[in-house]
Amino acid sequence: MITLQRSLNSALVGLMLFGATAHAADKYCPKEFEVVERDKKDSWSMQKKTLDKLFCTNTFEGENFKIVYSTDEAAIAFDNPNKAIVKKAANAYYHLMIARQYWVDQIKSDYVAKLPQIVVRIDITNAFSNLRHFKNAEQEKNFNNAWSVPEGESPRFAKDKLKWGKEIWFSPMKKIEARKGIESDGSNPVHEALEVIKDPVLEYNKNAMIYSGLGLIAAPDVYANDLLNTTIARLATIADLRSDGSDQAHGQVVHREVVLH
């Protein structure tokens, strides 16, 4: 009798373990989408890649990320009629998963490994409000931006009790015409603006060097190291502004970079 009972118990445990394993296997439904892939030369191409750890809901919701549109709460569906939104959602999910795995595998970040699911909002123009999650769209609109939103909840006195976790927001792209509203004779408008501020910047840097020199005289041990670095930086700025401007002769803007070690 005891042997029979033990056999039945073993069979029951086996069935329970099998059921748990089968449930775990059915938890995720990976799916392929075309996403942007860059190579080492920084060129890119569209390639089919598998999105892992997606729940079996036919949406861009997985264990680590949930991609939603703007202020929606439901994840974007695979069959969303707006193909551009589907492409953005697939790219956001794919590249965020790569970033997460880098932090977990390479940086060994226990904090990132234990993060709960993060809601990712694409094409959101609303600004964040720590009192009600979103500001009304007509109050402030955001474009060409991305930022992280802390978890929080609306205060006790609020009419609508809201609660949200950590989120990542991507606002939509908006093209900005740099020359719109600027009347010019054809010269580079950026160069023209730099010419206006050149003299004040020169004076500021020269005066700053004089005051730094006085500080060195007053306390040489305190100012010696800092003076060398700041003087090199200010001399680089003065030399840059005193250049003959040949770089801009054809309406080109040249970026110079000074690196101090």
> Which of 80, 93, 84 has the alpha carbon at shortest distance from 49?
93
At residue 254, the pLDDT reads 36
Q: Which of 218 and 52 is assigned the larger pLDDT? A: 52
Q: Which one of 162-176, 196-210, 221-235 scores highest in mean pLDDT?
A: 162-176
141 and 101 in one domain? yes
Query: Residues 30-47: pLDDT tens digits?
Result: 999 999 998 887 788 999
Q: How many domains does the chain have?
A: 2
In a domain, 17, yes or no: no
- Write out the residue range of the structural domain in which residue 82 sits: 31-170
| Helix, strand, coil distribution of the chain in percent, nearest 5 | 40, 20, 40
134 and 69 in one domain? yes
Query: Residues 195-222: pLDDT tens digits?
Result: 555 556 556 665 665 555 555 555 555 5
In a domain, 177, yes or no: no
| Lowest mean pLDDT, pick from 35-39, 98-102, 108-112, 251-255 | 251-255
115 and 241 in one domain? no
User: How many C-beta atoms surround the C-beta of residue 214 within 10 A?
Assistant: 10
The region, left, alpha or beta by phi > 0 then psi within -120 to 50, assigned to residue 186 is: left
Query: Residues 103-125: pLDDT tens digits?
Result: 999 999 999 999 999 999 999 99
